[in-house]
A and B are shown apart, each in its own frame.
Chain A
Amino acid sequence: MNEYIEKINTLARDMGEVKIMEVCGGHTNTIMRYGIRDILPANIKLISGPGCPVCVTSQYDIDCAIELALGGVKLATYGDMIHVPGTKTSLLDARARGADVKVIYSADQIVGEKDRVFFAVGFETTTPMTATMLKNNIPVFCAHKLIPPAMKILVGEMNIQGFIDPGHVSTIIGSDIWGELNIPVPQVISGFKPEALVRATCILLELIKNKEVKVVNDYPEVVFGKGNLLAKKLIEETMKPVDAEWRGMGVIPGSGLAPRNELLDARIIYKDLFKNIVSREYPGCRCGEIVRGMVEPRECPFFGTVCTPENPQGACMVSESEGACAIAYKYGKSLAE
């Protein structure tokens, strides 16, 4: 491991400021847990990207899910989603008030419950599960996001010089696709161990220095060129690409998915319930800038004061495993505090 750290130090000596974005929230977790940012040279910046499903889900979509639950529709979703604050309340509080909101981790937990709507979030990693639900005729409120279109926007806007590509997403979509995106900076697909992320940083610095724009698959034990063909086929059969609204990034063309079968699309089935929703983010909340890597969690005035994991005001403070603010709260306490 020390050889990579030494090499990073040597490479960094002749470089100016280098911004590398780790796209995936799981990577941010490892980086913060092991204090990897602290051991990198000051001019090498690792910036957290949008790869937290809870964080990038738009306020409107969260409000829609809450509206469904309060409107008497049985709902199922992932654990962290119930804590995300909507404009007025959260699914957790809706449940405390009697709404039927079931936390699930696997499609078969609700297969057979045809009147329960699955509030689907997540990137390519979780789309096969949603596809399985649709195959089983379970209606879906689909807030899935696709990572590559967002990266194309961020690379220009944020002056990113290299990407650490998400490992789990890549297991589904494969490594080939990253090279087909015409992103003008090098990318390394990385695993989740701290050593892997240090190595990915080292590889990127070398590529940046040599002005080589290519994709290195440094997670070949689980990421293959074409990805998971079975999962991709299932997704293609059940869902179609649509424009999607991201928190902090607005509507990105072709960055979302919707059920092909409109009879299973909860956005269409329950459209009357959503008519009067007026969504508003918590004023002053900087989640939108945080998911784009523009500011650090601690730069938000509410971090750790009004906004804590117990009572999150912004979506980035919810997921301890993927949300930049919750991770910073958990692992970012300085030794002097």
Chain B
Amino acid sequence: MQLLINMGKALLNSSMDDKKECLTGNCPTPIEADVGSIRLSEGSGGREMQELISQIRSKLGAESDWKNTQDDAASIDFAGKKLVFTSDSYVVTPIFFPGGNIGKIAFCGTVNDLAVMGARPLGLSLSFVLEEGFSKKDFFSIVETIGELSKKHGVPIVTGDTKVVEHGSVDKIIINTSGVGSAEIILDEPLEVGDQIIVSGGIGEHGTALLARRFELETLIETDSKPLWDEINSVRGLIRQAKDVTRGGLAAILNEIAEKNGKQFLINEEKIPIEHEVRALTEVLGIELYNLACEGRFVCIASHKNSDEVVQKLKQFNKHACVVGEVLDGKNVIVQTRFGKKVLNMPHGNIVPRIC
């Protein structure tokens, strides 16, 4: 069906000669991607992943009392509060990188999905799928990382599961964590024109740390991965919404919030905090820096009145926290560059460095 729609669109937009060719039944058949198999790009946090998720939803679709099912975590009224629930699976290459390992992002990612809803994390589950032959030393190093974070941040690991599969069935380790949290109020207040868009710190550092390790480039940049509950807890009475910046980077997250709220975001590029090395690496590799992943940063929206106070509080955790833009009527995320305004699109596909 999509093929027919596409061909129709092509017909409308094509030149007279092409139209003639199409009308005589010779319209070129597009080479369709292999729709029968899952493609890598359908898991990259961009548009294709959104499409896959909506297809999954359409097959499930049972009605329930749960709310926020399109958000980072779902919520339900429970004993006078909101119970918040989320789940995430983690695969990353390499599994050890500057400043952390897969265990750190498995812990922080789930805590953060609860935190951005305004929920205090109560406990996590922890499940492993391990490849036969995977180093026990590496495995327990990952487990210890999770244990240390759990103790330090007071979020216990309360249940879990471990499976071992044949060599070659998975790449070393897959981790799943699910988490339950409780909130007085879900951070889901409608946005208003004039609201300020705030980022909690320098962006793209996690993605840079991974790329640097992958391409054997030396850098002082470490992953930004950390649990965000303390930061969000300090401002949750002052902000309307929050979202952690993960796969797809700032570009994906800003587009998601703008689209969900039916608003336009105007971002001032000069204000976005970016470490010099992050910028340098993206220039060397020819990668769009707004598509780089973070694991310990969030975007929040606050009224103009509250925004200064929010920034001051967040600066206690990260000196780079700042206002980067404003909410307007309309659609799209618009970036004001040094030379003019540009639309910042939702990223698609995997991050691929340039060839030349």
**Which residues of A does B touch, CB under 8 Å?**
1, 24-26, 29, 33-36, 38-39, 51-54, 78-81, 83, 85, 88-90, 92-93, 96-97, 105-106, 121-123, 125-126, 166, 168-169, 192-194, 198, 282-284, 301-303, 305-307, 309-311, 313, 319-322, 329-331, 333-335, 337
B215 to chain A, nearest CB (A): 6
| Contact partners of B37 in chain A: CB under 8 A | 96
Any A CB within 8 A of the CB of B287: yes
Of B9, B21, B31, most A-chain CB atoms within 10 Å: B31
- Check A34–B338 contact: CB distance below 8 A: yes
B283 close to chain A: CB less than 8 A = yes
Q: Is the CB of B354 within 8 A of A309?
A: no
Chain A nearest CB from B48 CB (Å) reads 6
Identify 11 residue pairs between A and B in the complex whose beta-carbon atoms are under 8 Å apart, listed by A's number: A35-B337, A38-B339, A51-B356, A79-B352, A93-B34, A301-B15, A302-B30, A307-B30, A310-B41, A319-B355, A334-B343
Whether B53 sits at the interface, judged by CB under 8 Å, is: no
Does the CB pair B340–A39 fall under 8 Å? yes
- Residue of A at shortest CB range from B48? A310
Whether A333 contacts B343 in the complex (CB less than 8 A), given A24-B356, A78-B355, A96-B34, comes out as: yes
Residues 48-66 of chain B: 1 if any A CB is under 8 Å from the residue's CB, otherwise 0?
1000000000000000000
Which positions in B face A, CB cutoff 8 Å?
6-7, 9-10, 12-15, 18, 21, 28, 30-34, 37, 39, 41, 47-48, 215-216, 283, 286-288, 332, 334, 337-343, 345, 348-350, 352-356
Chain B residues with CB below 8 A from A166, complex form: 356
With contacts A96-B34, A319-B352, A319-B354 known, is A305 near B10, CB below 8 A?
A: yes
Q: Please report the C-alpha to C-alpha distance between residue A322 and residue B48 in the assembled complex, in whole angstroms.
A: 21
B30 touches A313 (CB 8 A): yes
Contacts of A39 in B (CB 8 A): 339-340
**Are A93 and B345 in touch, CB under 8 angstroms?**
no
Closest to A1 in B: B338
Minimal Cβ-Cβ distance residue in B for A124 = B356
Is there contact, CB below 8 Å, between A34 and B337? yes
Q: Complex: how many Å from CA A52 to CA B355?
A: 8
Q: Is the CB of A105 within 8 A of B356?
A: no
Q: Which 3 A-B pairs have the closest CB atoms?
A: A301-B14, A79-B352, A321-B354
Name the A residues within 8 Å of B31 (CB-CB): 85, 88-90, 282, 311, 313
Residue of B15, B34, B352, B355 with most chain A CB atoms under a 10 A cut-off: B355
Task: Report if A321-B215 is in contact (Cβ < 8 Å); known contacts: A192-B283, A284-B14, A333-B345.
Answer: no
Which of A79, A92, A169, A302 interacts with B356 by CB under 8 Å? A169
The residue among A36, A313, A330 with the most chain B CB atoms within 10 A of its own CB is A330
Q: A311 touching B33 by the CB < 8 A rule?
A: yes
> Is the pair B341, A35 in contact by a Cβ cutoff of 8 Å?
yes
Inter-chain contact B355/A122, CB cutoff 8 Å:
yes
In the complex the two chains form, what is the Cα distance from A96 to B355 in whole Å? Answer: 23
Residue of A nearest to B269 (CB): A34
**What A residues does B15 contact at CB under 8 A?**
301
Residues of B within 8 A of A83 (CB): 349
B14→A321 contact, CB < 8 A: no
Contact assessment for A106 and B215 in the assembled complex, using a CB-CB cutoff below 8 Å: yes
Least CB distance from A80 to B in Å reads: 5
A198 to B37, CA, bound (A): 45
- Say yes or no: A126 contacts B342, CB within 8 Å: no
Distance (whole angstroms) from the CB of B329 to the closest CB of chain A: 13
Chain B residue at minimal CB-CB distance from A85: B31
When chains A and B are docked, how far (Å) is the Cα of A335 from the Cα of B37?
35
Which residues of chain A are near B34, meaning CB under 8 Å?
Answer: 93, 96-97
Report whether A126 and B356 are in contact in the complex, using a CB–CB cutoff of 8 Å: yes
Residues in chain A near residue B348, CB distance under 8 A: 309-310
> Which residues on the B side are within 8 Å of A337 (C-beta)?
332, 343
How far does the alpha carbon of A260 sit from the alpha carbon of B283 in the complex, in Å? 34
Q: How far is the CA of A301 from the CA of B19 in the complex (A)?
A: 10
Report chain A residues within 8 Å CB of B339: 34-36, 38-39, 194, 198
Task: Determine if A311 and B32 form an interchain contact, defined as CB atoms under 8 angstroms apart.
Answer: yes
* Other 16 A-B pairs with CB < 8 A, given A79-B353, A126-B356, A319-B355: A26-B354, A79-B352, A80-B352, A83-B349, A90-B33, A93-B34, A96-B39, A97-B34, A192-B283, A301-B13, A302-B13, A309-B349, A321-B353, A322-B286, A333-B332, A337-B332
